[in-house]
Every structure is written in structure tokens, then in C-alpha cells.
Homo-oligomer: A and B are copies of this chain.
């Protein structure tokens, strides 16, 4: 789609939850829960959301922010270790134009009675650079806060 210069980067976000790994993992695996904290939110219109949480399965979200352009997130799950690890790749488009593809690694570790989560995203951007990576990192941090709210924290 886009033919601009490519930029490769990586970032990590860490977050500790009071909930046990089993509950944190379930919030990623259960379609109703995942939709609630990951896709929905004030100002966002979710046109469709599908989640088939298994290795080789897809997650597809069609959405807009406010009066903004149509956006898509197409995810493929590569590796799932229950309550421990999820590795998936996802591409995003705006107005039908691809602007990023990412490989995301989610690692959950028991920390006392809670969970330490380490999220690493290896990203390739088309026609964007470090500022867009920082924006993505901040967006991921906000999502992990929304996950905390989903867990009642």
C-alpha cells in the first residue's frame, strides 16, 4: 500500500497488576473482556470486533475516533502459553492505507499474589519515525491502564 521509507524500532511497557496471571491472561483471551478494555472507550466507534484467541487465530477491529477516518487493526496470534505468554503480529491501516506492522510479545510473571506484565513491541512504520513510536508507546501504556480498570484496579 504505502511506499514511503520504512522505520524499524522497538519499545517496552511494564505494568504490575494486583490480579493473578490467570485473571490478567483471561482479559486478553476472552472476546467480551478484550473488546471492553482494548477496543471500546469514550470517543471511539467500534464498527466491528472479532477475536479468535488461539495460535493461528485472528483478531480484527474496525473503528474510528470521533469523526476521524476509518481504521483497522488486523492481528494474528503466533504463540500462546496460557497465563504466561502471548506473541502476535498486527498491521494497522488508516483510510485503507497501511501505516504500521508490529510484532508484540506479552510476558506475564507471578509477582507475589499479582502479575508483572512486560509488553515488547517490535514495529515497522511507513513514512513515520520516532515520534510515532513514542505515540504508540504512550497509547500502549494507556491500554494497560484500561486493562487495570477492567480488572477492577
Name A residues whose Cβ lies closer than 8 Å to a Cβ of B: 1-3, 6, 8, 10, 56, 74, 76, 78-79, 81, 84-85, 87, 89, 91, 98, 101-103, 105, 107, 120, 122-124, 126
Residue of B nearest to A105 (CB): B124
The count of identical subunits is 2
CA gap between A89 and B121 in the complex, in Å: 13
Residue of B nearest to A8 (CB): B120
Nearest 10 A/B pairs, CB to CB: A89-B89, A122-B122, A103-B103, A78-B91, A78-B101, A87-B101, A76-B76, A79-B98, A105-B124, A3-B81
Chain B residues positioned under 8 Å from A79 (CB to CB): 1, 91, 98, 101, 126
Residue of B nearest to A93 (CB): B79
Chain B residues positioned under 8 Å from A8 (CB to CB): 10, 105, 120, 122
